[in-house]
Amino acid sequence: MKPLVMVTGGTGYIGSHTAVELIQEGFEVVIVDNLSNSKHEVLNGIEAITGVMPHFENFDLCDLKRLRKCSEKYPRLEAIVHFAALKAVGESVDIPLDYYHNNFESLINLLRIMGDYSIPNMVFSSSCTVYGQPDHLPVTENSPVKKASSPYGNTKRVSEEIIQDAIRANSTIRAISLRYFNPIGAHPSANIGELPLGVPLNLVPYLTQTVIGKREELRVFGNDYNTPDGTGIRDYIYVVDLARAHVIALKRLLESKNKKPYEVFNLGTGKGYSVMEIINTFEKATGEKVKFKIYPRRPGDIDAVYADTTLANKELGWKAETSLEQTLFTAWNWEKALNNKK
């Protein structure tokens, strides 16, 4: 019998790519999502790639009663991969209570049912935002966790603490937190990808929308950062490589490969690219021209952040494999596929 796994936020961007990898690796997947930031049709994309339609439960994880019912419906659940969260940094400053309510309540409810229904394992979506502007680059897992610059970032920092406290109080629970750097790109089939609702906040979807003609020009936020070309440097990780890391982390928990009940891993490529390098690589990968203009800095942005991935390489045996050029090519194919649907 296939191991049964709950994927919360599984119709979202990273969750859908992970659901695909899990199904392809022989897992049976139950997606729980309230579709607050995703669409039901993502399930068709997952089915088109894998040939399997995952179980789907549409409800809000803040609803503990409903979550209990779901756990009773799937008594064989062995693990939870927890992606569901609100994630827009700027929005979290405007509606902090919604962010704290949604991101904490859903996590606490999941930790409760893990204890109550003997679901011992969790893989949690964290973020490199917990490091703030690091004092040293690249960032290792031992770099200090800094005071968050937004309520969103704070939910990630405190969520990691909540998980550790829950584990201290209940020795049957184990978890791995994965701190993502900047996930980009889409499935090579272009059946699933990122679906930004409204104007994209992140660099790559804004760039692809500019090239397709939905936006007038890409605004490069600042060229006076302390970096070689003055534009901000980030560690862009291909979403499918990131998804694969979840399967490995999950197997590590299920096979009890690690003795520690709680572990943290950085998931990045280990290499930082500037905004100008992203533009140039995109042009090279696709043959398209990117119209851009330099704008003032975006408040809250930092000069540079990229990962030291030694721990994930060594302990998980995982490494990001896809080049930036290939990754940006998938992002462009996805943008074109979205445009053809309309």
Told to check if 154 binds ligand NAD by CB under 6 A, we report no
> In this chain, which stretch among 11-19, 137-145, 281-289, 292-300 interacts with ligand NAD, using CB under 6 A?
11-19
Question: CB under 5 to 8 A by kind: which of ligand UFG, ligand NAD, none does 328 bind?
Answer: none
Strands (E), 55-136: 55-57, 77-82, 121-127
CB of 110 to ligand NAD, least distance (A): 10
Told to check if 157 binds ligand UFG by CB under 6 A, we report no
Show the tokens assigned to 76: 């064989």
Show the tokens assigned to 94: 């405007």
Number of amino acids touching ligand NAD (CB under 6 A): 28
Closest CA to 37 of 81, 94, 88: 88
Told to check if 275 binds ligand UFG by CB under 6 A, we report yes
> In this chain, which stretch among 5-13, 46-54, 90-98, 262-270 interacts with ligand NAD, using CB under 6 A?
5-13
Q: How far is CA 93 from CA 100, 148, 218, in A?
A: 11, 11, 24
Q: Active-site residue among 152, 180, 236, 238?
A: 152
Bridge-based pairing of strands 273-274 and 233-234 is antiparallel
Instruction: Output the CA torsion 335→199→31→318 (10° steps).
Output: 60
Q: Which of 127, 154, 159, 177 binds ligand UFG (CB under 6 A)?
A: 127
Angstrom distance (rounded) from CA 6 to CA 9 = 10
Residues 78 to 97: which contact ligand NAD by CB under 6 A? Answer: 83-87
Cis peptide bond prior to 120, omega within 30° of 0:
no
Residue nearest to ligand UFG (CB): 232
Question: CB under 5 to 8 A by kind: which of ligand NAD, ligand UFG, none does 323 bind?
Answer: none
Told to check if 266 binds ligand NAD by CB under 6 A, we report no
Active site includes 100? no
Angstrom distance (rounded) from CA 247 to CA 141 = 20
**292 pairs with which residues across the strands?**
218
Nearer CB in complex with ligand UFG: 127/208:
127
Question: CB under 5 to 8 A by kind: which of ligand UFG, ligand NAD, none does 201 bind?
Answer: ligand UFG
Show the tokens assigned to 5: 């796994």
Q: 19-24, long-range: CB within 8 Å, 24+ apart, which pairs? A: 19/46, 19/54, 20/46, 20/49, 20/50, 20/187, 20/192, 20/243, 21/240, 21/243, 21/244, 21/246, 21/247, 22/81, 22/246, 22/247, 22/250, 23/50, 23/52, 23/54, 24/50
Told to check if 71 binds ligand NAD by CB under 6 A, we report no
Told to check if 13 binds ligand NAD by CB under 6 A, we report yes
Told to check if 202 binds ligand UFG by CB under 6 A, we report yes
Told to check if 46 binds ligand UFG by CB under 6 A, we report no
Alpha helices in 216-323 (DSSP H): 239-254, 275-286, 310-311
> In this chain, which stretch among 64-72, 93-101, 126-134, 160-168 interacts with ligand UFG, using CB under 6 A?
126-134
Q: Which of 47, 60, 91, 301 binds ligand NAD (CB under 6 A)?
A: 60
Strands (E), 185-231: 218-221
Nearer CB in complex with ligand UFG: 166/307:
307
> In this chain, which stretch among 12-20, 73-81, 90-98, 320-328 interacts with ligand NAD, using CB under 6 A?
12-20
- Interface residues with ligand NAD (CB under 6 A)? 9, 11-15, 32-38, 60-62, 83-87, 102, 106, 125, 127, 180, 182-183
Residue numbers annotated as active site? 152
- Interface residues with ligand UFG (CB under 6 A)? 87, 89, 127-129, 180, 182, 201-203, 206, 219-221, 232, 234, 275, 298, 301
